């Protein structure tokens, strides 16, 4: 009996490790990097020393998260509490709706179809705590706030990595191009998420750092005080230069650790 239990645990361990290894990781070299912005209170301009780390080239997909759920039978917070927040065209700026049917398999709610044809899209409608559960199982971790920024900048000290501007960002990021959110926008081929790696990578080979979905990171800000707050970085398919220009390397978003949104996912980092 004891031998069977050990064998079972070994198989689960090997499966989780192999899934983590399916990801292509980009190694970021140890060094001192300039982060932040001189105009930012949350993220002031400063020099930060970073140890070497390896970060996934793309956001975690629905396929990878499905493997986790099928192996562990994990139930996300949105499934337990039916509190996921989703968007549909026609809503006023910054307005989202709570959809009791939405969770990672139906990230925009059951009425807006599921992920059957979107297994290579980033997983969404998962909370920070769900992301941590995946990481523990897979033997990986979330990037720190500083690590994410170093990787996204790819050596740049400005708002975007070299070669990107508001004029050509549509080549690098799945964002919202419409004037507002009252009318559906599929100008880049996608209303919601796109398959990972659809758009151009940054100079170090990371995809979707300014679009597709915001990415959970580890870390805290002075404004958090004693509260546990989840933070996310990057940008999402919902981001628009006319209403939410947060798709860059400097902005740091905040969200309840239990909250689930259809434009929020994560990218993983190897543990040493």
Over the stretch 205-233, which tens digit does the pLDDT of each residue have? 999 999 999 999 999 999 999 899 999 99
Residues 189 and 21: their CA atoms lie apart, in Å, by 30
What local confidence, expressed as pLDDT, does residue 272 receive?
85
What local confidence, expressed as pLDDT, does residue 243 receive?
87
User: Do the beta carbons of residue 94 and residue 244 sit within 8 Å?
Assistant: yes
Residues 22 and 30: their CA atoms lie apart, in Å, by 24
147-172: average pLDDT: 96
Pick the range with the lowest mean pLDDT from 15-19, 89-93, 131-135.
15-19
Q: What is the mean pLDDT of the chain?
A: 92
Compute the radius of gyration of the chain from its Cα atoms: 18
Q: Which of 105, 82, 251 is nearest to 175 (CA)?
A: 251
10 has pLDDT over 80: no
State what percent of residues in the chain have pLDDT above 90: 87
1 has pLDDT over 60: no
15 has pLDDT over 60: no
2 has pLDDT over 90: no
99-109: average pLDDT: 97
State what percent of residues in the chain have pLDDT above 70: 92
What is the model's pTM? Answer: 0.91
Q: Which of 141, 96, 56 is nearest to 264 (CA)?
A: 96
Residue bearing the bigger pLDDT, 18 or 199: 199
**Half-sphere exposure for 33 (CA within 13 Å, toward CB):** 23
Q: Which of 232, 238, 235, 178 is nearest to 207 (CA)?
A: 235
Residues 15 and 137: their CA atoms lie apart, in Å, by 10
- 242 pLDDT tier (thresholds 50, 70, 90): confident
What is the helix (H) or strand (E) element at residue 4, kind and residue range? helix 2-22
What local confidence, expressed as pLDDT, does residue 57 receive?
98
pLDDT tens figures, 43-91: 999 999 999 999 999 999 999 999 999 999 999 999 999 999 999 999 9
């Amino acid at each position: 009996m004891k031998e069977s239990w050990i064998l079972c645990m070994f198989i689960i361990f090997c499966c989780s490790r192999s899934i983590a290894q399916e990801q292509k990781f980009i190694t970021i070299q140890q060094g001192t990097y300039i982060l932040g912005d001189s105009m930012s209170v949350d993220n002031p301009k400063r020099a930060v020393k970073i140890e070497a780390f390896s970060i996934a080239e793309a956001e975690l997909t629905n396929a990878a998260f499905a493997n986790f759920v099928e192996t562990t039978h994990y139930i996300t917070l949105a499934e337990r509490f039916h509190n996921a927040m989703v968007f549909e065209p026609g809503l006023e700026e910054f307005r989202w709706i709570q959809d009791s049917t939405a969770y990672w398999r139906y990230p925009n709610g059951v009425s807006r179809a599921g992920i059957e044809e979107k297994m290579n899209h980033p997983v969404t409608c998962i909370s920070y705590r769900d992301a941590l559960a995946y990481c523990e199982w897979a033997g990986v971790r979330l990037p720190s706030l500083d690590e994410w920024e170093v990787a996204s900048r790819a050596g740049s000290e400005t708002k975007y990595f070299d070669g990107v501007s508001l004029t050509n960002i549509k080549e690098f990021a799945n964002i919202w191009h419409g004037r507002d959110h009252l009318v559906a926008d599929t100008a880049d081929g996608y209303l919601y998420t796109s398959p990972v790696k659809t758009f151009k990578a940054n100079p170090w080979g990371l995809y979707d750092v300014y679009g597709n979905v915001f990415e959970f990171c580890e870390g805290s800000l002075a404004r958090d005080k004693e509260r546990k707050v989840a933070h996310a970085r990057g940008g999402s398919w919902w981001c628009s230069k006319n209403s939410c220009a947060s798709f860059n390397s400097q902005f740091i978003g905040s969200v309840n650790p239990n909250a689930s949104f259809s434009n929020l996912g994560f990218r993983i980092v190897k543990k040493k």
